[in-house]
Amino acid sequence: MANATTSEECKITGDGDLVGVGVRISVYIQMLLAIIKVTKRGNQVIETMVIGMITSLALVISAIHQRKTAYLHYLLLIEVSQIVSMMIAMIYVAIMFDGNKGIKKKAFRIGILFVIVTLFTLCYNIWVWATVKWKMADEECGDQVKIFILNAQIDPTGWFRNFSLAMNCIGLVLVPITLYYVILWIATIETTIRKNLVSNIWGWNFGQVAAMTVAFVDLANALILFDLKEGEEDEIEYPRAYNQLLILKKNTEQIMEKDNRIEDYL
């Protein structure tokens, strides 16, 4: 059936904790912050990158778990694949940025974590696209599911599957990310979910609120950073160490003041 959307009688049961509106907005905010904060010279971008990698890993693990232990429609596996791929691509762009000293200082640890998460994500993507051709036919409304790139309807088991499979197989080599592709990616995720009439993902539950909270806390930290001078970021990132330095400085000044008084008295 080649309708613009799935029929009203055929609705796909969704999972708000995986592709709910809160989760998607959280991902978009984290991607934006990764690009914005990388231009700063402090360490705050590392926090955003780590959160993004943890979010991607959590989504992939949750999707696999739900698929194996409970019913999870293959369309949702595809959407998780798109979301985490976009997140990993943005983190890669941030890592490759050459102007941030914070990333350079911790490049090895960030690189190791990124490689692990990327390999895991690519394996997940390859599994999804390699099996969708046979699995989608057995799914509820499987013959009506379409991938929407702008307004174009694309069969997820046709050429788009082959393309996605090939891109993931060489994903560690290619860097196809530009602003245009990011906007197109977001539009594809949102339009595909809306056009296929996925239910149970528009209401707010704990998983979505938690995802939004993490994103907005990171956003608040970013806004605070813009009012700080270079070097002051470390005061926020390491408050205990900074406070200890202040105490040490104060004690040193008091000792020096006492020594000066003794010398004046003598």
Residue 176 gets which letter from DSSP?
A: -
The pLDDT score that the predictor gives to residue 3 is: 37
Residue 38 gets which letter from DSSP?
A: T
- Asked if residue 48 lies in contact with residue 108, where contact means CB atoms within 8 angstroms, the answer is no
Domain boundaries, the chain: 12-229, 232-266
C-alpha pair distances (Å), 230 with each of 38, 43, 50, 99, 128: 14, 11, 22, 14, 44
Locate 64 and state its tokens.
């696999």
| Burial bucket for residue 263 (CB in 10 Å: 0-12, 13-18, 19+) | exposed
pLDDT tens digits, one per residue of 83-111: 888 888 888 777 776 555 555 555 556 66
Q: Is 10 helix (H, G, I), strand (E, B) or coil?
A: coil
User: What pTM does this model have?
Assistant: 0.63
Residue 12 forms beta bridges with which residues? 198
Instruction: Write out the chain's pLDDT in tens, 266 residues.
Output: 333 444 456 778 777 778 888 888 888 888 888 777 777 655 667 777 888 888 888 888 888 888 887 778 888 888 999 888 888 888 877 777 655 555 555 555 666 777 788 888 888 988 888 888 887 877 777 778 888 887 788 888 888 888 888 888 876 565 445 456 667 777 787 888 788 877 777 666 666 767 777 777 666 666 655 544 444 444 444 444 445 445 555 555 565 565 555 555 55
